[in-house]
Amino acid sequence: MSDSFLEIRGISKAFQAVQALDSVDLTLKPGEAKCLVGENGCGKSTLIKIISGVYTPDEGEIIIKGKSYQSLTPIASIEAGIQVIYQDFSLFPNLTVAENITMSYNRYHKTKFVNKNRNRELAKKMVDEIGVKLDLDQEVSELSVGEKQVVAICRALLLDAELLIMDEPTTALTSKEVQALYGIIASLKERGIALIFVSHKLDEVFAVAESVCVLRDGKNVIDGPKEDFDKHKIAYYMTGREVVFDPFVPEEITDELLHIENLTLEPYYRDISFTLRKGEVLGITGLLGSGRTELAESIFGLRKPTEGTVALKGEVLNLTGSDKAVNAGIGYLPEDRLTQGLFLKVEIERNISAGIVRKFSQNPMGYIDKSGMHQTVVDQVESLRIKLGGLDHPVSSLSGGNQQRVVLAKWLAISPKVLILNCPTVGVDVGSKQNIHETIKALAVEGLGMVVVSDDLPEILSVCSRVIVMNQGRFTGEYQASELDESTLQQMLAKA
């Protein structure tokens, strides 16, 4: 009898003409953490949904603790000890911590009446078991992202989970919360709980995993102990090509584009001043809560500062809204593309053309020049190498990397003078990340003012020519990227 908790043998799944999975194998032992990596669209999500019973495979076999299944239902997967923690955690924000932890347990056991004392006892038992502190009576809406994740883990453990599948679990966590999560994962493994850890962040692969499985185009590329890999090997197996993140060296830095003077918006940031010139990529980095996002939103007119000025090419702007910023020539790619950057159910073409309708309707009759607007969209798709089935498909049909390129295309279509990119590669795979970085550098060389706001330190160091460090609402240092390394920059961010 096998000592594995889970065995996937020859699993295949097609959606019409698209072969999402092609004879995929995977083995996982109790207490083992396996990182499942691959570019967006490689089949990771499909495989997770087959394991959790959401999808039925076309071929293959699933073996859990020696028992063979041709397919699973969600209930059968839960009964077998499998739980998935998705990026949104699927929590009820208006309910308490205790109520959220026990909700699935009560539903599964068909509890008819709410017993608050019993719920609290069960929740406390789970919280104590993993060694964290949570106010069980606090509403989930008041928790930090890291605390919400702990609630989701406790909820899964209450259903006797023996395998936790964690999908991009650190996307919105601070560095302190990431370290706390690593500790929880270590304690889960000690208890014999297996984990499948999906992540685009290669550093995390080596922090939590015993083994790595790489998928590409729906197929197994390689599966083995993490000691057989380094970041360059994983990137190569994911993409099928060498992936190198070279530091950016500006060809020429010329005229001043953007000048920020003594910008203040309490309690988020205060006395912020800097200048952006043509030909450079300026990085602004800080931990969550440092004020970096609020600053970016103020420059784009989404938040009104109480003091200070924003000047573009020497002209002071009155940014009372984002429309004023757009008209002046400032674009903003938000951190959360799904809720702030895209109309997910709307066609790709309409997403890209959203900002240029007015430009193509400036004629005496007010008619929209649809052919001119369409050609602009086509040019952007070709320039950014957006992979799509058709411009009339919904943007939700695209991978994360291609969705991000659509947001970028929308802003480039307006021909901005300055483009602010807030975490431009969050949630995208390593191949798309390299392509987006190359695009940012090329745009800077062409004379577009580029500001990259991010806490992804390798990203900041590879794509930016100059870096400003932000801490607790203030700028605490300004450096040439060539003067820094990741360790030094991490220490700067951690300083209070």
Phi/psi for 491 (5° steps) reads -65, -40
Q: Is the pLDDT of residue 37 over 50?
A: yes
Between strands 418-422 and 330-333, the pairing is parallel
For 380, other C-beta atoms within 10 Å of its C-beta total 21
According to the model, what pLDDT value does residue 265 have?
A: 95
According to the model, what pLDDT value does residue 287 have?
A: 80
Q: Which CATH architecture has domain 6-239?
A: 3-Layer(aba) Sandwich (3.40)
Average model confidence (pLDDT) for the chain? 89
According to the model, what pLDDT value does residue 243 have?
A: 67
* CATH superfamily name and code, 256-494: P-loop containing nucleotide triphosphate hydrolases (3.40.50.300)
Task: Decide: 155 and 130 in contact? Cβ < 8 Å.
Answer: no
Q: Is the pLDDT of residue 411 over 80?
A: yes
According to the model, what pLDDT value does residue 393 have?
A: 93
In the chain, ranges of CATH 3.40.50.300 domains: 6-239, 256-494
Model confidence at 108, in pLDDT bands (50, 70, 90)? confident
Alpha-carbon distance 254 to 276, whole Å? 10
Task: Decide: 440 and 410 in contact? Cβ < 8 Å.
Answer: no
Q: Give residues with Cβ within 8 angstroms of 384, minimum separation 6.
A: 405, 408, 409, 412, 439
According to the model, what pLDDT value does residue 492 have?
A: 84
| Per-residue pLDDT tens digits for 479-492 | 999 888 887 887 88
* pLDDT above 90 as % of the chain: 53
Q: Is the pLDDT of residue 394 over 50?
A: yes
One-letter amino acid for residue 427 of the chain: G
Nearest to 250 by CA among 222, 226, 282: 282
Q: Per-residue pLDDT averaged across 241-254, rounded? A: 78
Q: Give residues with Cβ within 8 angstroms of 452, minimum separation 6.
A: 281, 282, 283, 284, 421, 424, 440, 459, 460, 463, 464
According to the model, what pLDDT value does residue 460 have?
A: 92
| Per-residue pLDDT tens digits for 459-481 | 899 899 999 999 889 999 999 99
Phi/psi for 255 (5° steps) reads -70, 150
| ω into 364 cis (within 30 of 0) | no
Give the Å distances, CA to CA, from 445 to 247, 283, 440, 465, 466: 14, 16, 9, 12, 14
According to the model, what pLDDT value does residue 3 have?
A: 87
Q: Give residues with Cβ within 8 angstroms of 17, minimum separation 6.
A: none
State the number of CA atoms in the 13 A half-sphere of 163 facing the CB: 22
Q: Is the pLDDT of residue 1 over 60?
A: no
| Per-residue pLDDT tens digits for 46-75 | 999 999 999 999 999 999 999 999 999 999
Phi/psi for 130 (5° steps) reads -95, 5
H/E element, 131: none
According to the model, what pLDDT value does residue 244 have?
A: 66
Q: Is the pLDDT of residue 28 over 50?
A: yes
According to the model, what pLDDT value does residue 172 have?
A: 66
